[in-house]
């Protein structure tokens, strides 16, 4: 039985449907990310899981029992709010201590846990600061410490690292992952950042306009996007219009000058979806002219104009000479690296 | 989920009833057919509304209040707009002192203002005149006109003005065609709030008004001092009805919350 | 803080025309100096003048009026009554107005604006009409309020409201209530809407949330509302005059009497001056205290 289960949950604000037909089963100890563009309903879904918003339709069950029957204070949830929701009239330490106080943790143990929680998020020495006197990133870390210190059985994180610089964010990501692993905390993370979702989660829920586009492991969603939206949203992608020609003896999949044996199950016009790093330069294949070439440290990014429209190619910087802007090249890829969708691009 | 519990709703209901009770009672008593103060238990009557006609001083006082309110708030706005622009636009020594001075009528009890004006106007020989009332009201409502204009002028995007200047607008054209239209909403609500303030004032005006220049609140107050009969309730009911009509109009035209926001802290 | 002080940092430094702001502010400044500063100064001077039943005002400098106020227990009692009423009124508005603002804030959009209008609307209705309403409700020993409370079994014998401090406090609290609700309301608007959820998720119950999370944050709003209500109540005129009648005098009604009935202007001016000075000291002092108390947290 799933630990946390959402069954066809929907939420309306007035006439506007913000979340619709949302079904998800989260196992105990699992790390799930909600990924989607701004305004797609991530926070709303999380708030329903937290019990702060009532679903218009559908049910949410925690360990098999109706969530709405359990008082929010008794659910053992640790929440980091998108707006942090720190108590402005309490110092950082008092903020973190609040949940422990509510649980009647003895004073000595409380002080020790507060100290170590703040140290863990890199805020040792900031105990007596008031939130108004902290930077956005520092406030965010206090919020994280406040949620973690109570050792919740479920962690709900609404963009908990959005305000941190790249280095700090990476450190906190590792920290989060470790906590989640060692304590077995069931975690739901809301994020805009696909890299964060990819590197942390067991599964990713890609959302768009209140609906689930795809649920799958990071690798799944990246390599086999279920829709154009998912492939566009998860990193750069190429969509080539192609046709399947079944008139010849052995049917062929054709995109411009590139062709391969046709897979089963498709006919007529199809769309080839392909990650830029899976394309290579070769002697035969899709003809393309390089428009711009951008050096990005560990790799090169080529923007090309191909027979099938614009194409993006990423090549590892392995020290080999690369084609220059204006060169005409041939693009090729392995059949197993692409995914096919019916219909034209 | 934020929902008010039954206890909270019960408290709220009692609260609202108590807030409305005196106003409702005044309006009900105004319809009494009796010759004394009582709730209209046996039938409604317009008798006391007709009686108002026999007391022309009430009608006169209403027109005085209306004229005084409109005129004093207009003059106050005329003085407040340049002052607000000065305070919003420039950083100069004495700026804080200046705005403290301009807002000071909010801090000074109206009794004290009434006494000060009475003393001053009698010694310069215009005591009891409409002009004296007008000047006094301009001072009292000035902070309200100033604050809303100030808020509008501060919130204004100055690059718009720079754009106008770059297109060749002179300073008068700039004010008339760009600045004024942009701060106009603030100016109008400043005027409205100033008007309400002037129309309502009793404490200061009671010192300054003479027969002939009595405003409606003063007339009503003096009448109550002598005898309380249903006539003042019918006059009050008329005032309440007019106020409510104005409120609804204002709300439709402009949004009441914005006007009220300016009245939120007269103590500061 | 005044609106002007908040904008100080936003104002661009325009040094090119140093005279420009003064030119713009000159008309208003002249008006204020001419008909506010001078009259106030004259009033203070007036309080040092002599007065006699037959000789009228004599422009001399004596401390007679101040001496009378300082020594005659009548004035001490009157001022003490004035401030007692103001304190009780402030307390009543805070205790009732703050919860009401909180309840209003939790209502859904439409009801909220309806009730906000109901509670703030009276602000725009003449104080005389509102106080008259209370006079009608109190109306002697068998007024509506007494009848209602007796039939509900809240009281056994009627409480005298007219011409008593109790009645004045009740009516004043009604008149001042909108200021308190508005002030707390403004403070509530600055609260993070998720803050109660945050406390809830950490295990706090409703009472704890109000006591530990909401109250401390709206306290500045309650206190600034209290300052407004206090200063307006201490200098209120219409309500004490109508409910208190001629017997129960407060500072404002006493000054009115001295000026328009007894015609002892110098004494009235002294009472008014004392009221002004006391209020300014109290308001400025408590503002400073509040700002110091909350400087650390809410800056
Ligand atoms: N209380 C509310 N009333 C009405 N509409 C709301 C309310 N809360 C959210 N919405 C709307 O619901 C939609 C989804 O909001 P939500 O906050 O869940 O988005 P999100 O995915 O978290 O976005 P972001 O990444 O920007 O935080 C938005 O269009 C928003 O305008
Ligand atoms: Mg969100």
Is 50 exceeded by the pLDDT of residue C11?
no
Measured N-to-C along each axis, helices C73-105 and C109-120 cross at an angle, to the nearest 10 degrees, of: 160
Residues with Cβ within 8 Å of residue A325, at least 6 apart in sequence? A290, A291, A292, A293
Report the separation in Å between the CA atom of A187 and the middle of ligand 2, taken as the mean of its atom positions: 16
The arithmetic mean of pLDDT across residues B237-252, rounded, is 84
Q: What is the DSSP annotation of C10-60?
A: TS----TTTTHHHHHHHHHHHHHIIIIIHHHHHHHHHTTSEEETTTEEE--
Q: What is the ipTM of this complex?
A: 0.88
Which residue of chain C has the CA closest to A49?
C201
pLDDT for A273 equals 85
Edge to edge, the sheet with strand A57-62 lists A16-26, A4-13, A57-62, A65-66
Q: How far is the CA of A192 from the centre of ligand 2 (A)?
A: 9
Tell me what pLDDT residue C297 has: 65
Cα distance between the two ends of chain B: 36
Go through chain A and tell me how many residues it has.
345
| Residues ≥6 apart with Cβ < 8 Å to C5 | B96, B99
- Average pLDDT estimate for C160-174: 93
Is residue C9 predicted with pLDDT exceeding 70? no
Whose C-alpha lies nearest to ligand 1, atom 7?
A: A13
Cβ A114 vs Cβ A106: under 8 Å: no
**Percent share of chain B, pLDDT over 70:** 94
CB C88 within 8 A of CB C96: no
Percent of chain B with pLDDT over 90: 47
Q: How far is CA B212 from CA A68, B177, B209, B236, in A?
A: 69, 42, 8, 20
pLDDT of residue B134: 96
Within 10 Å of residue A289's Cβ, how many Cβ atoms? 14
Please list, in sequence order, all residues whose beta carbon lies within 8 angstroms of the beta carbon of residue A81, skipping any fewer than 6 positions away. Answer: A143, A158, C192, C194, C197, C198
| Domains (range + CATH), chain A | 4-231 (3.40.50.300), 236-341 (no CATH)
- B5, B6, B19, B149: best to mutate for the C interface, most C CBs within 10 A: B19
The set of long-range contacts for A276-279, using a CB threshold of 8 Å and a minimum separation of 24, is A276/A236, A276/A237, A276/A238, A276/A301, A276/A311, A276/A312, A276/A313, A276/A314, A277/A314, A277/A315, A277/A316, A278/A333, A278/A334, A278/A337, A278/A338, A279/A238, A279/A311, A279/A313, A279/A314, A279/A331, A279/A332, A279/A333
Ligand 1 within 6 A of CB of A39: yes
Q: Which of B1, B8, B14, B15 to mutate to test the interface with C (most CBs of C within 10 A)?
A: B15
Residue nearest to atom 14 of ligand 1 (CA): A41
**According to the model, what pLDDT value does residue B153 have?**
87
pLDDT of C271 reads 93
Give the atom of ligand 1 at the shortest distance from the alpha carbon of A41.
18
pLDDT of residue C8: 39
The Cα–Cα gap between B219 and B226 comes to 11
Q: Which of A197-206, B183-192, B245-254 has the lowest mean pLDDT?
A: B245-254
Phi/psi for B55 (5° steps) reads -115, 75
Q: What is the pLDDT of residue C10?
A: 38
Q: Shortest Cα distance from C114 to chain B (angstroms)?
A: 11
State residue C15's pLDDT score.
44
Residue nearest to atom 12 of ligand 1 (CA): A18
Of all protein residues, whose CA lies closest to atom 25 belonging to ligand 1? Answer: A38
Q: Verify whether the Cβ–Cβ distance A72 to C200 is below 8 Å.
A: yes
pLDDT band at B258 (very low <50, low <70, confident <90, very high): low
What CA–CA distances, in Å, run from A35 to A215, A317, B102, B107?
10, 30, 55, 55
What is the rounded average pLDDT of the residues B60-87?
94
With CB atoms and an 8 Å threshold, state whether B264 touches C260.
no
Tens of pLDDT, residue by residue over A19-72, are 999 999 999 999 999 999 999 999 999 999 988 888 999 999 988 888 777 776
SS3 content of chain C, % helix, strand, coil (to 5): 75, 0, 25
Task: Indicate the DSSP class of residue C164.
Answer: S
Cβ–Cβ below 8 Å for C183 and B265: yes
Backbone CA torsion sign across C114, C116, C118, C123: negative
Instruction: Determine whether the shortest distance from the Cβ of A15 to ligand 1 is under 6 A.
Output: no
pLDDT value of residue C4: 39
Q: What is the mean pLDDT of chain C?
A: 87
Residue A184 DSSP class = T
**Cβ(B205)–Cβ(B114) below 8 Å:** yes
- The two structure tokens encoding residue C64: 């007679």
Task: Write down the pLDDT at residue B265.
Answer: 38
Query: What spatial distance separates the first Cα and last Cα of chain A, rounded to whole Å?
Result: 40
Tokens of A115: 């100290």
Six-digit token string for A62: 């925690």
Q: How far apart are CA B42 and CA B148, in angstroms?
A: 49
What average pLDDT does this structure show over C37-65? 88
Q: Inter-chain contact B139–C273, Cβ cutoff 8 Å?
A: no
Is residue C7 pLDDT above 50, yes or no? no
Q: What is the mean pLDDT of residues B232-238?
A: 91
Which residues, in sequence order, are CB contacts of C253 under 8 Å at separation 6+?
C237, C240, C241, C244
Tens of pLDDT, residue by residue over C104-153, are 999 887 888 889 888 888 888 889 999 999 999 998 667 888 888 888 88
Query: Cα(B208)–Cα(C39) distance, rounded to whole angstroms?
Result: 13
The pLDDT value given to residue A138: 92
Q: Does B3 reach chain A within 8 Å, measured CB to CB?
A: no
The pLDDT of residue A317: 87
Min Cα separation C197/chain A (Å): 7
Picking from B203, B242, B182, the residue whose alpha carbon sits closest to that of residue C128 is: B203
pLDDT value at C14 more than 80? no
Angle at A13 between CA A12 and CA A14, to 5 degrees: 105
Q: Give the mean pLDDT of chain B.
A: 86
pLDDT, one tens digit per residue, over A263-293 is: 877 888 888 888 888 899 988 889 999 999 9
* Averaged pLDDT in 10-residue chunks for chain A of 345 residues: 89 92 94 93 92 89 80 80 90 93 92 94 92 90 92 91 87 86 90 88 94 93 85 84 81 87 83 88 90 89 91 89 90 88 66
Query: Per-residue pLDDT averaged across C243-250, rounded?
Result: 88
Looking at CA atoms only, how far is residue C187 from chain A in angstroms? 13
Q: Which tens digits make up the pLDDT trace of C259-298?
A: 888 888 999 999 999 999 999 999 999 989 888 888 766 6
Q: Where are the alpha helices (DSSP H) in B90-129?
A: 95-103, 110-124
Strand A31-35 relative to strand A57-62, pairing: unpaired
Examine the pLDDT at B163 and tell me if it is beyond 50: yes
Residue linked to tokens 């201590």: A97
The beta strands (E) that lie in A36-152 are given as 57-62, 65-66, 77-80
């Amino acid at each position: 039985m799933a630990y946390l289960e959402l069954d066809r949950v929907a939420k309306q604000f007035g006439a506007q449907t913000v979340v619709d037909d949302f079904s998800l089963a989260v196992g105990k100890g699992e790390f799930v990310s909600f990924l989607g563009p701004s305004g797609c309903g991530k926070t709303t879904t999380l708030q329903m899981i937290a019990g702060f918003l009532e679903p218009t339709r559908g049910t949410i069950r925690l360990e098999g029992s109706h969530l709405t029957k359990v008082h929010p204070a008794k659910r053992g949830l640790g929440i980091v709010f998108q707006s942090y929701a720190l108590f402005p009239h309490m110092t950082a330490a008092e903020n973190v201590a609040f949940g422990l106080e509510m649980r009647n943790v003895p004073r000595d143990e409380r002080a020790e846990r507060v100290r170590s929680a703040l140290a863990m998020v890199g805020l040792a020495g900031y105990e007596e600061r008031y939130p108004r006197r902290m930077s956005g990133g520092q406030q965010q870390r206090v919020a994280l410490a406040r949620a973690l210190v109570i050792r919740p059985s479920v962690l709900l994180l609404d963009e908990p690292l959005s305000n941190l610089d790249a280095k700090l964010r990476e450190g906190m990501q590792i920290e989060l992952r470790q906590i989640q692993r060692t304590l077995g905390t069931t975690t739901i993370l809301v994020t805009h950042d696909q890299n964060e979702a990819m590197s942390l989660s067991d599964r990713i829920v890609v959302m768009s306009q209140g609906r689930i586009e795809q649920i799958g492991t990071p690798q799944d969603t990246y390599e086999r996007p279920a829709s154009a939206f998912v492939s566009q949203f998860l990193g750069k992608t190429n969509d080539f219009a192609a046709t399947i020609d079944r008139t010849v003896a052995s049917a062929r999949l054709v995109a411009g000058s590139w062709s391969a044996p046709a897979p089963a199950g498709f006919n007529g016009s199809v769309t080839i979806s392909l990650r830029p790093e899976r394309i290579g330069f070769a002697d035969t294949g899709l003809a393309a002219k390089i428009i711009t070439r951008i050096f990005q440290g560990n790799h090169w990014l080529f923007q090309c104009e191909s027979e099938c429209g614009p194409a993006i190619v990423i090549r590892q910087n392995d020290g080999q000479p690369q084609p220059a802007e204006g060169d005409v090249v041939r693009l090729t890829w392995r059949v197993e690296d692409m995914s096919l969708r019916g219909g034209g691009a | 989920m934020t929902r008010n519990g039954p206890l909270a709703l019960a408290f709220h209901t009692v609260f609202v009833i108590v807030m409305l009770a005196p106003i409702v009672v005044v309006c009900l008593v105004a319809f009494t057919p009796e010759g004394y103060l009582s709730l209209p238990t046996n039938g409604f009557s317009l008798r006391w509304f007709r009686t108002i006609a026999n007391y022309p001083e009430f009608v006169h006082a209403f027109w005085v209040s209306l004229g005084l309110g409109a005129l004093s708030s207009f003059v106050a706005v005329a003085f407040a707009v340049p002052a607000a622009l000065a305070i919003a636009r420039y950083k100069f020594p004495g700026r804080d002192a200046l705005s403290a001075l301009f807002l000071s009528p909010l801090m000074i009890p109206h009794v004290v203002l009434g006494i000060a004006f009475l003393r001053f106007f009698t010694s310069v020989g215009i005591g009891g005149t409409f002009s004296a009332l007008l000047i006094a009201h301009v001072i009292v409502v000035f902070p309200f006109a100033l604050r809303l204009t100030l808020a509008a002028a501060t919130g204004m995007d100055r690059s718009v003005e720079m754009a106008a200047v770059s297109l060749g607008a002179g300073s008068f054209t700039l004010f008339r065609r760009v600045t004024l239209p942009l701060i106009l909403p603030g100016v109008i609500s400043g005027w409205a709030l100033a008007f309400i303030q002037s129309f309502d004032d009793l404490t200061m005006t009671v010192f300054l008004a003479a027969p002939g220049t009595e405003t409606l609140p003063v007339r009503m107050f003096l009448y109550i001092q002598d005898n309380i009969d249903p006539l003042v309730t019918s006059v009050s009911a008329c005032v309440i009805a007019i106020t409510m009509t104005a409120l609804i109009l204002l709300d439709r035209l402009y949004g009441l919350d914005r006007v009220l926001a300016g009245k939120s802290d007269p103590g500061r | 803080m005044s609106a002007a002080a908040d904008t100080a940092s936003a104002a661009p430094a325009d040094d090119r025309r140093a005279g420009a702001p003064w030119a713009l502010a000159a008309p208003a400044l002249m008006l204020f100096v001419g008909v506010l500063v001078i009259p106030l100064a004259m009033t203070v001077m007036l309080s040092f003048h002599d007065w006699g039943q037959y000789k009228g005002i004599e422009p001399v400098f004596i401390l007679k009026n101040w001496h009378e106020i300082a020594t005659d227990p009548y004035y001490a009692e009157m001022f003490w009554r004035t401030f007692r009423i103001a304190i009780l009124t402030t307390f009543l508005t805070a205790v009732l107005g703050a919860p009401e603002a909180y309840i209003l804030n939790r209502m859904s959009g439409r009801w909220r604006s309806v009730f906000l209008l109901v509670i703030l609307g009276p602000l725009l209705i003449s104080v005389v009409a509102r106080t008259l309403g209370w006079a009608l409700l109190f109306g002697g020993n068998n007024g509506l309020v007494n009848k209602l409370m007796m039939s509900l079994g809240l009281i056994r014998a009627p409480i005298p409201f007219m011409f008593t401090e109790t009645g004045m406090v009740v009516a004043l609290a009604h008149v001042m209530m909108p200021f308190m609700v508005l002030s707390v309301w403004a403070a509530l608007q600055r609260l993070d809407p998720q803050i109660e959820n945050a406390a809830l998720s950490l295990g706090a119950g409703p009472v704890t949330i109000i006591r530990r999370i909401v109250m401390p944050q709206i306290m500045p709003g309650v206190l600034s509302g209290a300052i407004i209500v206090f200063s307006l109540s201490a200098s209120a005129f219409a309500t004490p005059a109508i409910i208190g009648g001629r017997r129960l005098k407060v500072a404002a009604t006493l000054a009115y009497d001295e000026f328009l009935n007894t015609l002892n202007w110098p004494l009235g001016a002294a009472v008014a001056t004392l009221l002004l000075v006391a209020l300014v000291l109290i308001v400025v002092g408590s503002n400073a205290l509040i700002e110091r108390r909350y400087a650390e947290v809410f800056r």
